[in-house]
């Protein structure tokens, strides 16, 4: 049997030590990297292209869910976390498992049975990946992660001026520049706070805090003039939404 290359990512060394001790009873599993944060984890996954990753969710700087958005290589993912508010039952019914700390060797071994089965099937179930992305966006977004080359940018939502549709990507415009992210406009429309962001056009989502004023533009048309001087088109539907949110 071939060796299962494994990366363990957790900001608590004790949690890493426990996983290492449980893995030690399985001769076919090799830990190729132990990482204490998401940045190290992404680097290790890019370098080693592991078959299996044990991943904490709540970590400083970069969460486990944010890591998933940035991965080019897609290993089998097992979540290992002390938090139980991420639809545990939904995950436990699928091939991607969810270990709630503290867990024992028996529970860990059950997870490995699922992981081996998934690896034998060669690929992650797309439905499961969609479920992961859905739960990453539970509640209003507070920050967005985007990659520029080898650099990972963490963008606070309150720094966003507007979001622009760009084919398979979106352009996230901030005072610090524009960042590209492979995501849909619908995703941002559904997960940004509707009191702070409004879909003003099929191609634009506007931060209300960046709006200076609405100006007429041709017959029955308007533009949004931003505080930095940029003008964006406003559709009729977008104009109605703006009027509703701004109370005029």
pLDDT digits (tens, 9 = 90+) for 152-202: 899 999 999 999 999 889 999 998 999 999 889 999 999 999 999 999 999
The pTM of this model reads 0.70
Residues carrying CATH 3.40.50.2300, the chain: 4-136
Q: Which CATH architecture has domain 4-136?
A: 3-Layer(aba) Sandwich (3.40)
Looking from the CA of 166 toward its CB, the CA atoms found within 13 Å total 13
Residues carrying CATH 2.40.50.1020, the chain: 143-246
Interval 127-159: pLDDT, tens: 445 544 444 444 468 899 998 887 889 999 999
Domain 143-246 falls in which CATH fold? OB fold (Dihydrolipoamide Acetyltransferase, E2P) (2.40.50)
What whole-number distance in Å separates Cα of residue 194 and Cα of residue 163?
A: 14
What whole-number distance in Å separates Cα of residue 183 and Cα of residue 168?
A: 7
């Amino acid at each position: 049997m071939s060796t299962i290359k494994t990366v363990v990512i957790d900001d608590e060394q004790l949690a890493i030590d426990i996983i290492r001790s449980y893995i030690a009873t399985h001769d076919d599993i090799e830990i190729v990297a132990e990482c204490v944060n998401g940045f190290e984890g992404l680097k290790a996954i890019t370098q080693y292209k592991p078959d299996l990753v044990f991943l904490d969710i709540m970590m400083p700087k970069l969460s486990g869910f944010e890591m998933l958005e940035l991965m080019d290589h897609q290993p089998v993912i097992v979540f290992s976390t002390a938090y139980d508010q991420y639809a545990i039952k939904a995950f436990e019914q699928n091939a991607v498992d969810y270990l709630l700390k503290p867990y024992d060797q028996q529970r860990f071994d059950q997870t490995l049975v699922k992981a081996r089965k998934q690896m034998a099937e060669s690929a992650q179930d797309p439905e499961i990946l969609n479920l992961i992305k859905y739960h990453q966006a539970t509640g209003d977004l507070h920050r967005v992660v985007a990659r520029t080359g080898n650099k990972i940018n963490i963008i606070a939502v309150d720094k966003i001026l507007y979001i622009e549709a760009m084919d398979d990507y979106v352009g996230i415009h901030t005072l610090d520049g524009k960042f590209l992210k492979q995501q849909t406009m619908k995703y941002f429309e559904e997960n940004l706070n509707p009191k702070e962001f409004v879909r003003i056009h099929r191609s634009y989502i506007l931060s209300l805090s960046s709006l200076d004023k609405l100006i007429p533009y041709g017959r029955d048309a308007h533009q949004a003039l931003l505080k930095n001087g940029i003008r964006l088109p406003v559709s009729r539907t977008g104009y109605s939404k703006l009027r509703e949110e701004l109370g005029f």
